[in-house]
Amino acid sequence: MTNTLEFGLDTFGDITRDDTGPRSGAQVIRDTLAEGILADQTGVDYFGLGEHHRPDFAISSTEPILGALLGQTARIKGGTSVTVLSSDDPIRVFQRFATLNAIAPGRAEITIGRGSFTESFPLFGYDMADYEELFREKSDLLHRLLTEEKVSFEGKFSPKLSNVTVYPRPEAPITLWRGVGGSPQSVVEAAMNAMPLMLAIIGGDPARFAPFVDLYKRAHEQLGTAMLPVGVHSPGHVGPTDAEAREEFFKGYAKMHEMVGRARGWGRLSRAAFDAEIEQGSLYIGSPETVARKIARTVKVLNLSRFTLKYSSGPQDYRTNLRNIELYGTKVIPMVRELLATETV
């Protein structure tokens, strides 16, 4: 497991702060590029960017940042976390990632999902009543574009294609992951479309997702196809000590929880609930050893091929994000590999 296990970092481009207050969206985008380069330098395997269209996140277009990152590195993979395909154009998504794939063959990846926010629907003229149908149709078309050179397709929301080849043609396969938050049907669809499975686990004991992994495995067995990688995306923060990591992360994380919660009817996040989620749930916060032990347990319980830490959550101090990345790459990743190799999880 340890030879094939990959470690990633995710960010949505949360608006961070410095000594003078919130940093601008433009500065956060520049910071994100620097963070991706640092991730590559410290041994991280994957760097993912989430797409949002809100004032608390800076990244609405992932591919330009990924192009800059992949053009300045030689090893790290870059992709989305996630591409909100329902409100995008599958043909343009294919073309953008085929272009990235030309810049960095085999290193540009796509993760598609419905997304946890809906601002893109009215922004791009889509009706929320079509939420499910949009995603099904567009994911089908994108899958065909990635697996067939000549594509014929007809749908409600897409142009009719008759034996069409879309350019540029990828020189290397583009990996298409399916992001899943908690839908068994989505797990089965991922297996049916030969997509690796990325589980977004943002709360509760990660072991409760073991039935999803088992369902994914059984779906492949029934289809007669080989089991594909399974990954997990969860929030976290690495600090010098457990106490420092918690203090550094809580204020910004609670603020993010409050901003999102206004629209979703969430109550205020208490410090007790925060601490309980660290100790029993899916917040990976603490010293390098504490975070490494928790990641190793999740990897083992779910038999993962990739673990991705969402390192930026809310208006954190941008400097602690940089230190988080460095500690994750230089301390946590080697510790997890050692723990799994020695079976001391």
Strand pairing of 175-180 and 161-164? unpaired
Angstrom distance (rounded) from CA 144 to CA 176: 11
Question: What is the pLDDT at residue 114?
Answer: 87
228 residue type, one letter? L
- Record the pTM: 0.96
Per-residue model confidence as pLDDT tens digits over 259-269: 888 777 788 99
Average pLDDT over all residues of the chain:
95
- pLDDT at site 208: 96
| β-bridge partners, 18 | 21
Domain boundaries, the chain: 6-342
Distances (CA, A) of 152 to 61, 140, 163, 279: 28, 12, 5, 51
pLDDT value of position 267: 85
116 band by pLDDT with thresholds 50, 70 and 90: confident
The rounded radius of gyration (Å) of the Cα atoms in the chain is 19
6-342 under CATH 3.20.20.30, yes or no: yes
By percentage, how much of the chain surpasses pLDDT 90?
92
Question: Long-range CB contacts (< 8 A, 24+ apart) of 146-153?
Answer: 146/94, 146/170, 146/173, 146/174, 146/176, 147/194
Instruction: State yes or no: pLDDT of 225 exceeds 60.
Output: yes
Asked whether residue 281 carries a pLDDT value surpassing 80, the answer given is yes
pLDDT tens string 118-157: 899 999 999 999 999 999 999 999 999 999 999 999 999 9
pLDDT for the residue numbered 345: 62
Judging by beta carbons within 10 Å of its beta carbon (0-12, 13-18, 19+), is residue 165 exposed, middle or buried?
exposed
Helix (H) or strand (E) holding 77: strand 77-80
Residues 6+ away with beta carbon under 8 Å from 197: 177, 178, 180, 187, 190, 191, 212, 213, 216, 228, 229, 230, 231
